[in-house]
Amino acid sequence: MDKIHINQMMFYGYHGLFPEERKLGQRFSVDLTMELDLTKAGKTDQMEYSIDYGAVYTVVKEVVEGEAVNLMETLAEKIAKQLFMNFPLLQACVVKAYKPDPPIPGYYQSVAIEIYREREQ
């Protein structure tokens, strides 16, 4: 299956279990891999056979900057669900959501959740 990747989309949201996260908010980053057949897009040079990257960014932004959730797992699921609802050519996706600054002690680059979902038939 062909793939479109959009990496390191950056947002600011209010997700988390702790009151400070819900009040102050924090940065979130999302990597996305979308699987679909790009044969017609490549042969015809027509956008109708692909997925508009800008529209994808807008969908992800609306989810991440929208209603707060407790878990990154829930955030990733919501992103995948909205992608399938908005892009009928999408067959499968990998959503990797990063929380660079979660309120846990220690030294690390980030915490991330990665899910793979296929379109339900």
Task: Name the residues annotated as catalytic.
Answer: 99
Partner residues linked to 36 by β-bridges: 2
All residues at 6 or more sequence positions from 100 whose CB lies less than 8 Å from its CB, including other chains: 26, 27, 28, 29, 109, 110
Closest CA to 96 of 30, 3, 34, 33: 30
Query: Residue holding tokens 């407790």?
Result: 70
The answer to whether the beta carbons of residues 33 and 5 sit under 8 Å apart is: yes
Phi (first) and psi of residue 67, to 5 degrees: -55, 130
Closest CA to 42 of 85, 4, 81: 4
